[in-house]
Amino acid sequence: MTPFPAAEQVLRRLELTVTRRLSGLLHGAHQGLLPGPGSEYGDSRLYVPGEDDVRRMDWPVTARTGTPHVRDLVADRELETWVLADLSASMDFGTEGLDKRALAVAAVAAVGFLAGRTGDRFGACVLTGAHVHRMQARSGRQALYGLLHSLMDAPRAGAVPGAPALGEAVEVLGTVRRNRGLRVVVSDFIDPEPVLDPEAPRPWERAVRRLTARHDVLAIEVVDPRELDLPPGGLVVLTDPETGRTREVRLTRRLSEKYAEAAALQRRCTATALRRAGAAHLVLRTDRDWVADVAQFVLRRRRTARSAHRFPRSGAGR
């Protein structure tokens, strides 16, 4: 299935959809997908007990005026946003008219359009069946369109022996630029050998943890509903897209129930591993309104950030 039959027209519609539906929610510098206080000092203002962090106290102004003042922080400008787009074989699957690969490209486009509105440079690493390809970070709409065209035109991966794993691609993402910024990983997070123990580390978990030590990291998990539930359907042939192995299976009700349980456990393991690694986690499904899901995610993050600002943890100023 071709993700976007008329690339230029679809990109323009996609940009309009993102900017119109998310413009009011995501307006404002670099506090959109992952809100943060920034690192540049701004103006001083009166200290508000119970709301302001005493670690931001402006002592010179406080001493000069005799009244407690704090210094606001201004969000960084001209950052670089980098995204890792997983276009491996498992991303070619889809049953709802939109395959996971197309949804992944749409997610990359949304992040790129939003980053471009503040003038940020936007770059990408692309995981395919053979290698991890790096696309230089550039600013401007035409550069973003060129990047998205490259993603849409990328050949289908197919089953490739010895293909790079997601953890290797995350390691590459961590080396592109050391200055702090936003890093986005778009993948289905499906491993060749599924880990069904929430306490066990995932193969890519250590790489993501190292990435979060320096950057704000957003993990966008792309899911198709057929991966979560298989209806009883008699004798079927299942194919592993990553390895090309096939197996003939008779789908009974009992087998379908066991599959659903295992699939739900695998998703919980992914969520637990991302939480341990310190990455924000957004799930997009091919059968849902993904723009609405992005908006809800942003609103939750902003409410959490405001609560953390108004009610800092006890002992934060010690």
Instruction: Give the integer Cα–Cα distance in Å for 275 and 184.
Output: 15
Residues 86-108 have a mean pLDDT of 88
Answer whether residue 13 shows pLDDT above 80. Answer: no
- Contact status, residue 176 vs residue 123, Cβ threshold 8 Å: yes
- Contact status, residue 69 vs residue 45, Cβ threshold 8 Å: yes
What is the pLDDT, as a whole number, of residue 203? 92
pLDDT digits (tens, 9 = 90+) for 166-202: 999 999 999 987 777 889 999 999 887 777 888 999 9
Q: Are residues 61 and 141 in the same domain?
A: no
Q: Are residues 53 and 197 in the same domain?
A: no
What is the pLDDT, as a whole number, of residue 162? 61
Q: Are residues 147 and 258 in the same domain?
A: yes
Q: Are residues 148 and 21 in the same domain?
A: yes
Please, which pLDDT band fits residue 305 given cuts at 50, 70 and 90? low
Q: Are residues 68 and 119 in the same domain?
A: no
- Contact status, residue 90 vs residue 2, Cβ threshold 8 Å: no
What is the pLDDT, as a whole number, of residue 172? 93
Q: Are residues 182 and 301 in the same domain?
A: yes
Answer whether residue 279 shows pLDDT above 90. Answer: yes
Q: Are residues 86 and 193 in the same domain?
A: yes
Which residue range(s) make up the domain with 51?
40-74
3 state SS of 289:
coil
- Contact status, residue 19 vs residue 107, Cβ threshold 8 Å: no
The percentage of residues in the chain with a pLDDT greater than 90, rounded to a whole number, is 29
Q: For the chain, what is the mean pLDDT?
A: 80
* Amino acid code (one letter) for 109: A
What is the pLDDT, as a whole number, of residue 307? 58
Can you give the pTM of this predicted structure? 0.77
What is the pLDDT, as a whole number, of residue 36? 47
Please, which pLDDT band fits residue 318 given cuts at 50, 70 and 90? very low
What is the pLDDT, as a whole number, of residue 5? 45
Highest mean pLDDT among 12-26, 218-232, 293-307: 218-232
Residues 26-32 have a mean pLDDT of 46
Q: Which helix (H) or strand (E) segment is 110 a member of? A: helix 100-117
Q: Report the CATH number that the domain containing residue 11 is assigned in CATH.
A: 3.40.50.410
